[in-house]
Amino acid sequence: MKLKQLGTSDMWLTPVGFGAWAVGGGDWAYSWGPQDDNASIAAIHKAIHLGVNWIDTAAIYGLGHSEEVVGKAVKESSVKPFLFTKCGMVWNQQREIRRTLLEIRHEVEQSLRRLQVEAIDLYQIHWPVEDRDIEEAWGVLADLKHEGKVRHIGVSNFSVAQMERCMAIAPIVSLQPPYSLLNRAVEAEILPYCMECSIGVINYSPQHSGLLTGAMTKERVANLPPDDFRRNAANYQEPLLSRNLAVADFLKKIGARHGVSAGVVAIAWTLANPAITAAIVGGRSPEQVEGVWPAARLRLSAAEMNEIQAFMDSNR
């Protein structure tokens, strides 16, 4: 399995990393529904056992709970993966969420405590919604790196213009954008910019929140838990839902040639882009983790990439 360097950092990543969004559990605004902590810990341990060497989480996932679960799982493991987390979304005692880039020093201390580490390997600004505060926030992240609280700093969901503003203050090690067959917006400007500036890219939602796994059906969508954010997502509603499930069915045919799922093909498709360093893939059980791990080794042929593109062109 080939490792890739994340930007200009000293971190060489496995092609697939463990995404801990769903690990946060239910009962918050952007949850994936209820999740058992023991299953989460078992999933993380399975990922580490298979060779995954990085975990991506965020303070907001489960309102701190994901970081706590990740911290516990890693503490119990003899192998220590790189830990990535994010700042910029905070909450109060009523579990109300707000976005701010002005409380990062408090946030990092809380993340260090929950993750049970002395330094975070990659600390990222989650969303640049508070655009006017980007420079101040990025300066704080640069200071935290200098102080040793974080080893590397990156951004998530940033535009080229916003990254340029950060780069004028301190280098960006990585960008975390959404990227999948169903969401290719970053291809036009953002990925070329990252390649030009040696910014690593760890894409999230390569299976588009489960739509491209091959396991999703209309019946399953209809029965998603009330607190699952996907119930209200446009891609999970008609007319897009039928189109998206047809894409997944097509990917199943590609996967059958390799003995893998549609989701593995979807992940491998994103990894074929030279701008992508590695992909974030969520896992809620050891079985899910084991099912997607083949994406770390699958290499789609040029003919298969063209076949996928032709299908997408005819099913817009």
Question: In sequence order, which residues have a C-beta less than 8 Å from that of residue 261 and are 6 or more positions away?
Answer: 213, 214, 215, 252, 255, 291, 292
User: Is-catalytic flag, 30?
Assistant: no
Closest among 278, 277, 236, 282 to 263, alpha carbons compared: 282
Closest among 158, 85, 89 to 123, alpha carbons compared: 85
Active-site residue identified among 30, 61, 123, 179: 61
Four-residue CA torsion sign, 30, 55, 156, 101: positive
How is residue 206 written in tokens?
């390569």
SS3 for 122-182 is EEEECCCCCHHHHHHHHHHHHHHHHHCCECCEEEECCCHHHHHHHHCCCCCCEEECECECC
Per the document, the length of the chain is 316
How is residue 132 written in tokens?
């006017």
Would you please indicate which residues are annotated as catalytic (active-site) residues? Answer: 61
